[in-house]
Amino acid sequence: MLFAQLSSPSDVAPSWPLPIKAARFSATTVRNAVIWQLLQAQLRHFIQDRTQLDLAALLQTLIDDYHDLATDITFRGPPSLVNFGRPLGLKRVITNLVDNAIHYGIAPEIELQHTQNEVVIRVLDRGPGIAAEYREGVCLPFYRLESSRNKSTGGVGLGLSTARAIVLEHGGTLTLAERQGGGLEAVVVLPV
């Protein structure tokens, strides 16, 4: 079962936790249930009531925080864009994507766009990117691309899976794509 399809504990185990004495679990069901429980534990910190927030201001605040750490990030987007969401969760999503752009690429950028039906946030870099066959896999818990990832970064492979779970909880999508001219483009699409 793809992680992107998981939306509730019932997707991995119908009435988790089941009584052990009466249950016969497949390895996949148990693995998915454990992954769901780990993600739920991480997400509890970011779950809050939806509120009106200025996404442009949130992104500018993050960019200022990185600037204070001597990392420059280019921003393209409107000076203000009000939408509904969970600020802590969205901040975690963008922080994870920007951290990845900084650690695995160069020249990080954030783009913010608004259409009538959706808000699009793009986090871009000019790094090696991720081959098409691995882009969904890296969004699964504990999945790392060892050949292109530095083990000294301390990651265990939960960042993108947590980010995707938060975006899904907002009713949106998180996808990874090759950036034109080289690099990675992480695209967060949120409903208006």
For 55-111, what is each residue's pLDDT tens digit? 999 999 999 999 999 999 999 999 999 999 999 999 999 999 999 999 989 999 999
Which helix (H) or strand (E) segment holds residue 120: the answer is: strand 118-124
Least confident of 11-20, 88-97, 167-176: 11-20
User: To the nearest 10°, the Cα dihedral for 146, 150, 153, 159?
Assistant: -40
Query: Does the pLDDT of residue 178 top 50, yes or no?
Result: yes
Q: Which residues contact 4 (CB under 8 A, 6 or more apart)?
A: 136, 139, 164, 168
pLDDT tens digits along 118-136: 999 999 999 998 889 988 8
Least confident of 2-16, 23-37, 86-100, 157-171: 2-16
Secondary structure string (H, E, C) spanning 16-33: CCCCHHHCCCCHHHHHHH
Over residues 23-46, the mean pLDDT reads: 59
What is 58-79 written as a DSSP string?
A: HHHHHHHHHHHTT---EEES-S
Nearest Cα to 59, choosing from 45, 83, 75, 82?
75
What pTM, to 2 d.p., does this model score?
Answer: 0.72
Nearest Cα to 104, choosing from 125, 123, 74, 121?
125
- What domains are there in the chain, each with its CATH number? 3-44 (no CATH), 51-191 (3.30.565.10)
